Amino acid sequence: MFLWLKTLYRKRAVTWPFIFYTIIWTLSSLLLILLTLMQYKEYPEYFILTFVYLVSSYTLLYKFRSSSRVSKVCFLISLLIL
């Protein structure tokens, strides 16, 4: 299964940090998606925005009401920031 990793090790390639970084970044992205889905279950009346950057991520919760102009403006501004 990891035969190509052994081949890279034998050739003394410098791609090891990139491989480990990619694996860790993929796992953390999947964890972030799962946490966001869990937040949807906990806060069904909120609109949840999750921003992911190279180093960090953050989540914004908005009370989404159709009559509230402030929530719509905040939502649009946050989409423009993204």
Domain boundaries, the chain: 3-81
Phi, psi (rounded to 5 degrees) for 14: -100, 15
pLDDT digits 0-9 by tens, 54-69: 555 566 555 655 556 6
Q: What is the DSSP string of 24-82?
A: HHHHHHHHHHHHHHHHHHH-TTEEEEEEE-SS-EEEEEEE--TT-HHHHHHHHHHHHH-
pLDDT digits 0-9 by tens, 29-52: 666 667 666 766 666 666 666 665
pTM: 0.33
Contact 46, 63 (CB under 8 A): yes
Gap between the Cα atoms of 61 and 71, Å rounded = 10
